[in-house]
Chain A
């Protein structure tokens, strides 16, 4: 037995934001960040909401990789305000923050750490959740994962509950038209990592496979265009926006693997944006997984038009295609290229391994790494050396 969980409604395409006009309720609480407010994106949402007559409160203090403290502060304001709709507006940080604040609002008797698949949260007694992504990558608008940083322990809390999946996800490509190239690349690679891991982890299933494969096709085709052409290529923007959410549905209903275990660890220790910190490990982990997942990588290769040769040849050509894509969108291909000095990296190596080993991605990866494997993966990814073990 397994299950597929998704929002009840996914609104997508040009003008999707207008769906907000149909909401009925008394109070709406928007969880976002200052930058989106400055860029006028919050105004676009507020403009639609005004037609509902609802009272609107905006919490714009979400920082990248949001902390427990921010969540607790936001939840307190939300409780005082008493919303019946909550909107997570932004990238993964804002949407994850909205999910976590929602839980604490509905269940003040719980702590953030109680957001686990084993705890009955009984949400939706006070409010419902809408997610509106403003980047095309995290898939957080449709996932049941919540990533919050525990600043004291310097660790990312990988929380999850099916109940925090939003009721509605709104994918309006107008909100991502002006994404800067670097953010387009980082978030687009995040979506690719999610989809490739979803297709290869041990918990993969028919539903996640379908979404993962289509997302991978869209990303290989449209990410370079979205990166190069930006707002002049609305088709590429829209396709990437859809691909990111499909990738989110795929991995949320299967699992993440060790690209995420390594990336979360690197991101937490060296404060690197999520998309970039996971992307750098993708080709190395694919090489590492080859012995267990060669036919799955071959299937992905075929889906993007690599059809000649044996399964191993197709899989290796897929890995090369990933590296080519990363070069095209100027993503770092090694940890060294990220500018982390070797001595700093070595000092933190044991901590990096320990954190990766604690990730749930470790056990469902097609090849389950030992600590020594993790050590080598970190070192090979630092140097940019192809995996040979």
Chain B
């Protein structure tokens, strides 16, 4: 079972995104890459950074980076480990998470707000990754 956060986890996530037909439909026009940043708390000792390239309803590339400065992306979605856990378990709605400042998003808000359905499908996919937390 992949551990979160890890390279293995993000690759499994990408695989499941590519099998998610609802995501494919909701994000068919989406072009934009992300950094998913997990900041340390609740036993996580350092920051983890994932590069996630989403393109026309597919996950085109994912990898774990050494630091947030390694790659410039259109969007950054960032939050503490404890909130990522809740998100993956489906206990936090991704948009509500932003509204209540449990997560921070950098990038065009207008573009994201037109893709809320796709965002929700991404989180639904994350919940399907069999995950072991640290």
- Enumerate chain A interface residues (CB-CB to B < 8 A): 1-3, 113-114, 116-119, 157-158, 202-203, 357-358, 360, 362-363, 368, 370-371
Q: Which of B93, B96, B100, B110 meets A116, CB within 8 Å?
A: B110
Output the nearest chain B residue to A155 by Cβ-Cβ distance. Answer: B114
Q: A116 vs B115: C-alpha distance in the bound complex, in angstroms?
A: 14
Q: Is A203 touching B96 in the complex (CB atoms < 8 A)?
A: yes
A-B contact pairs, 15 of them (CB 8 A): A1-B102, A114-B109, A117-B98, A118-B98, A118-B105, A203-B93, A203-B96, A358-B114, A360-B95, A363-B95, A363-B116, A363-B119, A363-B120, A370-B25, A371-B25
- What's the minimum C-beta distance from A306 to chain B, rounded to whole angstroms? 32
Q: Is A1 touching B100 in the complex (CB atoms < 8 A)?
A: yes
Q: A117 vs B100: C-alpha distance in the bound complex, in angstroms?
A: 9
Q: What 0/1 pattern do residues 91 to 134 of B give for CB contact below 8 A with A?
A: 00101101110101100011001111101100000000000000
Q: A1-B100, A3-B100 are in contact. Are A116 and B113 (CB under 8 A)?
A: yes
Q: A118-B105, A203-B96 are in contact. Are A158 and B113 (CB under 8 A)?
A: yes
Q: A370-B25, A371-B25 are in contact. Are A119 and B109 (CB under 8 A)?
A: yes
Residues of B within 8 A of A203 (CB): 93, 96
Output the nearest chain A residue to B106 by Cβ-Cβ distance. Answer: A118
Given contacts A2-B96, A117-B99, A360-B95, 6 further A-B contacts (CB under 8 A): A3-B100, A116-B113, A117-B98, A119-B109, A358-B114, A363-B117
Q: A370-B25, A371-B25 are in contact. Are A362 and B100 (CB under 8 A)?
A: no
Q: Is chain B's binding surface mostly helix, strand, loop or mixed? A: helix
Q: Is A2 touching B100 in the complex (CB atoms < 8 A)?
A: yes
Residues of B within 8 A of A370 (CB): 22, 25
- What's the minimum C-beta distance from A272 to chain B, rounded to whole angstroms? 22
Q: Is A113 touching B100 in the complex (CB atoms < 8 A)?
A: no
Residues of B within 8 A of A117 (CB): 98-99
Interface residues of B, CB < 8 Å — how many? 21
Q: What 0/1 pattern do residues 1 to 32 of B give for CB contact below 8 A with A?
A: 00000000000000000000010011000000
Q: Most chain-B CB neighbours within 10 Å: which of A202, A357, A363? A: A363
Output the nearest chain A residue to B22 by Cβ-Cβ distance. Answer: A370
Q: A113-B110, A119-B109 are in contact. Are A357 and B96 (CB under 8 A)?
A: no
Q: Which of B22, B117, B119 meets A357, CB within 8 Å?
A: B117
Q: Is B109 touching A116 in the complex (CB atoms < 8 A)?
A: yes
Q: A158 vs B114: C-alpha distance in the bound complex, in angstroms?
A: 10
Q: Is A362 touching B99 in the complex (CB atoms < 8 A)?
A: no
Q: A119 vs B106: C-alpha distance in the bound complex, in angstroms?
A: 10
Residues of B within 8 A of A119 (CB): 109
Q: A178 vs B93: C-alpha distance in the bound complex, in angstroms?
A: 44
- What's the minimum C-beta distance from B90 to chain A, rounded to whole angstroms? 12
Q: What 0/1 pattern do residues 79 to 97 of B give for CB contact below 8 A with A?
A: 0000000000000010110
Q: A119 vs B113: C-alpha distance in the bound complex, in angstroms?
A: 13
Q: A1-B100, A157-B110 are in contact. Are A362 and B22 (CB under 8 A)?
A: no
Q: A157 vs B110: C-alpha distance in the bound complex, in angstroms?
A: 9
Q: A279 vs B22: C-alpha distance in the bound complex, in angstroms?
A: 29
Residues of A within 8 A of B100 (CB): 1-3
Q: Most chain-B CB neighbours within 10 Å: which of A117, A118, A158? A: A118
Residues of B within 8 A of A158 (CB): 113
Q: A1 vs B110: C-alpha distance in the bound complex, in angstroms?
A: 24
